[in-house]
Amino acid sequence: MLKSLVPVLIVGAVGAFVLSAATAAAQTPAGSLTNLTGVWVMEVEGHQFGLELDQKDGPAVEGVMLAMGRRVLLVGDYVERVLTLKGERPEDGVGHGHGSEDGGKAGPIVATMKDDGTLEGELSTNRGRTKWTGTRLKKP
């Protein structure tokens, strides 16, 4: 009886491994056009800001923007290559509407993923809406 079960167990184990590998391959890798996970460099009016994004399963995105010595928590989504983020609050608790005439109620950060893997969009500054671009930080 035991000898007849060994081939069945081996086939079952191999099948489970193949299924597991296929499932892992089907998940979208970070660094692709459909997943934003990673560290980005934002260019805004000649200034560079850091943007760290985490996209788990589905469209939900969380992140942190490092700007002017502050860490601003962000939440949003990424649907059909369009990113929309809004600030939750700075991690230091200080209002992130500094200098803005709208009392910190700025519009969302938006961007579109281009075919070359860069982001291009708009965000609010103390001078109104302005364009920005983003590139993934290259690993050394």
pLDDT at 75: 95
The model's confidence at residue 31, banded by pLDDT at 50, 70 and 90, is: low
The 10s digit of each residue's pLDDT in 98-109 is 444 444 556 899
pLDDT at 111: 97
Q: What is the mean pLDDT of residues 89-93?
A: 55
Q: What whole-number distance in Å separates Cα of residue 37 and Cα of residue 121?
A: 17
The ranges assigned to domains in the chain are 38-136
Q: What whole-number distance in Å separates Cα of residue 89 and Cα of residue 73?
A: 6
Q: Which two tokens stand for residue 33?
A: 């056009």
- Kind of pairing, strands 60-67 and 38-44? unpaired
| pLDDT above 90 as % of the chain | 51
Q: What whole-number distance in Å separates Cα of residue 87 and Cα of residue 61?
A: 12
| Closest C-alpha among 120, 118, 122 to residue 136 | 118
Under a CB-based contact definition with an 8 Å cutoff, are residues 75 and 85 in contact?
yes
- Mean pLDDT, the chain, rounded, equals 76
pLDDT at 90: 55
Q: Which residues contact 107 (CB under 8 A, 6 or more apart)?
A: 123, 124, 129
Fold of the 38-136 domain: Lipocalin (2.40.128)
90/31: higher pLDDT: 31
119/92: higher pLDDT: 119
pLDDT at 137: 92
Q: State residue 122 phi and psi, 5-degree precision.
A: -135, 155
**Helix and strand tally (H, E) in the chain?**
1, 8
The model's confidence at residue 29, banded by pLDDT at 50, 70 and 90, is: low
Under a CB-based contact definition with an 8 Å cutoff, are residues 104 and 94 in contact?
no
- pTM of the entire predicted model: 0.68
